[in-house]
Amino acid sequence: MSCKKNFDACGSIGILISIVFGALIAVLFNLGLITFLNIAVWIVFGLSVLFLILLVAGVYLSAVSIPGVLRYCVSKNGLCLLAATIGTLISAIVALSIVLNPASILITIFIAVFAFFFALMIIALIALLRCIITNLFPGDQP
């Protein structure tokens, strides 16, 4: 499979990877193999707040950037990154407010949703950075 220049994080590949990651984390959590999930939720909560701040700063900086690379990439990947970041932020707040018991199937499904949004947020950030790098250095592509 060749890597396209216009990879979309909210496309079929990004959603599929996020679903598989969410299902894998939910199964591992239900089996009791993931311990200290509260610490991971706090870390992901902090990352989602940081990504939200960086996205807002990117939108403001794209309005004043001269080359327009940041404007193009934020307009192309920003909506997916925003949706994934807000989904991660909301699911992290909910996960921090409940008792994470692996015996409950509803908690396991919620952990799958949480992991899905986290994976989508990371994939969207990678797509944004890849767009910026490929547009800043167009001649360096293999």
pLDDT in tens, the chain (142 residues): 334 556 677 888 889 999 999 999 999 999 989 888 999 999 999 999 999 999 998 888 888 877 788 888 888 888 999 999 999 999 999 999 999 888 889 999 999 999 999 999 999 999 988 888 888 887 766 5
Please give the Cα distance from 79 to 127 (Å, whole number): 12
**113-134 CB burial, b ≥16 within 10 A, e <16:** bbbbbbbbbbbbbebbebbbeb
**Distance between CA atoms of 97 and 91, rounded to whole angstroms?**
10
